[in-house]
Amino acid sequence: MIPEQVPRVAVIGGGAAGFFGAIACAEIANGQMDISIFEMGSNFLTKVKISGGGRCNVTNGLENTFDFSEHYPRGKRELIGPLSRWSQEDTVWWFRENGVELKTESDGRIFPVTDSSQTVIDCLTGVAKKKGIEAKNNCCVNRIDKSDEGSFRIWINDQDDPIEADYLLVATGGIRSAQSRNLLESMGHEFTSPVPSLFTFEIEDNRLTELSGLSVPSASVVIGHLGMKSVGPLLITHWGLSGPVILKLSALGARELEQLNYDFKIMVNWLGEEWKSKQLSQRIESERNLNGPRKIMKRSPIKEIPNRLWKRIVSKAEVTDDQTWSELTKQATLRIINSLIAEEFKVSGKSLNKSEFVTCGGVLLRDLDLRTMESRSVENLFFAGEVMDIDGLTGGFNFQSAWTTGRIAGEEIAQRCFSQT
């Protein structure tokens, strides 16, 4: 039972940041605060549920804070301090303490050992309940203001009478809806305009259609006129290109690409960064000497790229089906090299990445004190999660930002409250 007249905390948004913030607050308050989460949907933690293809990529194993913060196109510099206070190690520790065993995959992504996001949901809702947090669904916050006495008045589901709270944590997620933006405006907070991040590139090109489903272990992709480059695994899909290398570029260029209406050119080096034209020419020459008249070119690819891609590239270089390596002409060699390290494609649109997408844009970071996540203009108003102008690359970085900012805001609210009583 919570004693009467205890400080009241309202958390708006029942997602990762809202739950983690409310729990952090409750862990310190130890029953001496009245903490409620208001969620407009009928379910809590819906994004956690669908995250990581239903497995929930909770965080990333990268240990160095500076390296970790490099994975945020927006928030890179600002997150260094917060991540030093609540790091990925703290997240892993917290989930283990609360019964969720985690595992790190070879690429650094961390998942629950159950491979089920429901484990994370059960943990967060279970801990919240144990700590006396009241999580209320179907409660859409439409309006907020501050009374003369300094408490917040919160209107839910357009009801006439507002509820009141002494501290407010806004964790409403990406600000793509007009309603979320109105709420921020009503509190006098500015935001950068929202655009999607983490999308795949739509490309209509026969050179790719025939390779649908193929993955290339390490390719480099350049958007020349924006001076952007990314290296990593590349996936060819039936609508274009995807995979970590593309998702990273989509995040780095989220604003610029939206301004181009997702109509731009990319240059693909199928071999990654390692091969330059001269080296490759020597490499092909040695392959030619090695294979000579015995091996058919189309059936004996260089080992760095998948067979199907090699076949397509040599066909385009006008190498015939029965041509052997010793019959390779100088011109065909040049064409092959060019296709391998500098193949141009025209992107004509974007598709949201099914396994993860986030909003680029949110509450201006300069208007927040990132040591506490408190608004610089409204006392006792805090923010956490994707509602802030912070977004990360794929790999668990977006949830880590939600855990970190939620944790710091929740702790600060409880500490502030007890230091004032």
Residues that bind ligand FAD (CB under 6 A): 12-18, 38-41, 46-47, 50-52, 56-57, 140-141, 171-173, 180, 183, 355-358, 385-387, 396-399, 402
Beta partners for residue 103, in sequence order: 111
* Residue (105 or 327) nearer to ligand FAD, CB: 105
- In angstroms, give the least distance from the CB of 15 to ligand FAD: 2
* Residue (142 or 348) nearer to ligand FAD, CB: 142
CB-CB contact of 414 with 25 (8 Å): yes
E strand or H helix that includes residue 346:
strand 343-347
State the residue for tokens 């907070």: 189
Q: How far is CA 297 from CA 15, 18, 337, in A?
A: 54, 58, 14
- In angstroms, give the least distance from the CB of 52 to ligand FAD: 3
Per 3-state DSSP, what percentage of the chain is helix, strand, and coil (rounded to 5)?
A: 40, 25, 40
- In angstroms, give the least distance from the CB of 197 to ligand FAD: 10
CB-CB contact of 414 with 28 (8 Å): yes
Amino acid at 235: L
Contact partners, residue 301, CB within 8 Å, separation at least 6: 307, 309, 310, 311
State the residue for tokens 């303490």: 97
Beta partners for residue 248, in sequence order: none
Rounded to whole angstroms, the Cα distance separating 174 from 182 reads 13
Rounded to whole angstroms, the Cα distance separating 94 from 228 reads 37
- In angstroms, give the least distance from the CB of 224 to ligand FAD: 30
* Joined tokens for residue 405: 């900012």
- In angstroms, give the least distance from the CB of 89 to ligand FAD: 16
- In angstroms, give the least distance from the CB of 385 to ligand FAD: 2
* Residue (167 or 397) nearer to ligand FAD, CB: 397
* Residue (239 or 418) nearer to ligand FAD, CB: 239
* Residue (72 or 310) nearer to ligand FAD, CB: 72
- In angstroms, give the least distance from the CB of 7 to ligand FAD: 21
* Residue (16 or 317) nearer to ligand FAD, CB: 16
Rounded to whole angstroms, the Cα distance separating 76 from 371 reads 15
Query: What does residue 182 show for φ and ψ, rounded to 5 degrees?
Result: -60, -40
Query: Which one, of 247, 401, 276, lies nearest residue 342 by Cα?
Result: 276
- In angstroms, give the least distance from the CB of 183 to ligand FAD: 6
* Residue (221 or 251) nearer to ligand FAD, CB: 251
- The DSSP symbol for 38 reads E
* Residue (72 or 357) nearer to ligand FAD, CB: 357
Rounded to whole angstroms, the Cα distance separating 126 from 134 reads 11
Rounded to whole angstroms, the Cα distance separating 409 from 28 reads 12
- The DSSP symbol for 363 reads B
Instruction: Count other Cβ atoms within 10 Å, centred on residue 96.
Output: 11
* Residue (41 or 301) nearer to ligand FAD, CB: 41
Rounded to whole angstroms, the Cα distance separating 76 from 100 reads 28
* Residue (187 or 266) nearer to ligand FAD, CB: 187
- In angstroms, give the least distance from the CB of 106 to ligand FAD: 16
CB-CB contact of 234 with 269 (8 Å): no
- In angstroms, give the least distance from the CB of 233 to ligand FAD: 17
